[in-house]
Amino acid sequence: MTNIIKTEDSSKTLLGFWVYLMTDCVLFASLFATYAVLQNNTYGGPSGKQIFDLPNIFIETILLLTSSFTTGLVMLAVKKRNKNTVLLWLAITWVLGALFLSLEISEFRSMVLAGNSWRSSAFLSSFFTLVGTHGLHILAGLLWAGVLAFQLATKGFTENVTRRLHLFSLFWHFLDIIWIFIFTIVYLRGTL
């Protein structure tokens, strides 16, 4: 990746973005810790086992992992300075991310409609907040990818655009890693 961005400016931004990702990591760590403390406080309501729909979550996971792979393909195309290929894989990444998000929203919706909203128990509050915060990050990522695609289409591979594509790929992989933790700690441990 080192040959994608070279200048001194970019190395500052890269370090700054890594530090930002670590701060985001701490944010998620706080939410995970809260979830770990509150997960059994169902207050007579359902536990994770009763409401998690594992096949659905499995599809979400596959979608997000695939989108991480396609982000890798975006970066390969950036390396070759191939604009159309970048836009194509970015679009595919976007669609996969959007599908993930819509599945997550429909999962939340069906839970709420079944009477298990975030108001029902401390467990559900922490569940919706942890998973929802990840979802909000995905939403921000989608917005970012859209703006980047527009900038790439109009400006080409300027230094700023190239650097931001690189940062975006870091962000997206980071969200993937967080999701793996959510999948394991919330869904797998909750149902198995």
Partner 1 sequence: MLANIFGKLTLKAVQHGPIIAVAQLTMLLGVLSAIGLLFYLKRWKWLWKEWLTSLDPKKIGVMYIVVAVGMLLRGTTDAAMMRAQQSMSVGTSNGFLTSDHFQQIFTAHGTIMIFFVAMGLMFGLLNLVVPLMLGSRDVAFPFMNSTSFWLYVGGAVLINLSLVLGQIGATGWLAYPPLSELAYSPGVGVDYWIWSIQIAGIGSLLSGINFIVTILKMRCKGMDLMKMPIFLWTVLGSMSLVAFAFPILTATLAMLSLDRTLGMHFFTSDSGGNAMMYVNLIWAWGHPEVYILILPAFGIFSEVVATFSQKRLFGYKSMVWATAGITVLSFTVWLHHFFTMGAGPNINAFFGIMTMVIAVPTGVKVFNWLFTMNHGRVHFNTPLLWFFGFIATFTLGGVAGVLMSVPAIDFQVHNSLFLVAHFHTMIIGGVVFGYFAGIAYWFPKVFGFKLNEQLGRYAFWCWTIGFLTAFVPLYILGMMGATRRLDHYDASMGWQSLFIVAGVGVLIIGLGIAFQVLQMIVSIKQRKSNLDITGDPWNGRTLEWSTSSPAPFYNFAILPEVHDRDAFWDMKYGSSKSTKSTNYTNYTDISLPKNSSAGIFIATFASLFAFSMVWHIFWLGILGIVGVLVCLIIRLSDDETEYIVSAETIAKNESINLSKKATH
Query: In this complex, which beta carbon is closest to partner 1, that of residue 12 or of residue 189?
Result: 12
Question: What's the start-to-end Cα distance of the chain, in Å?
Answer: 39
Query: In this complex, which beta carbon is closest to partner 1, that of residue 16 or of residue 102?
Result: 16
Tallying the residues shown for the chain, one arrives at 192
> Considering only 12-20, 56-64, 90-98, 166-174, which stretch makes contact with partner 1 by CB under 8 A?
12-20
Number of Cα atoms under 13 Å in the Cβ half of residue 151: 15
When asked if residue 76 is in the footprint of partner 1 (CB under 8 A), the reply is no
Query: What whole-number distance in Å separates Cα of residue 188 and Cα of residue 14?
Result: 34
Query: What whole-number distance in Å separates Cα of residue 60 and Cα of residue 65?
Result: 9
**The one among 76, 105, 143, 177 contacting partner 1 by CB under 8 A:** 143
Query: What whole-number distance in Å separates Cα of residue 167 and Cα of residue 105?
Result: 26
Positions that interact with partner 1 (CB under 8 A): 8, 11-13, 15-16, 19-20, 22-24, 26-27, 30-31, 33-34, 37-38, 41-43, 118-123, 125-126, 128-129, 143, 147, 151, 155, 158, 160, 164
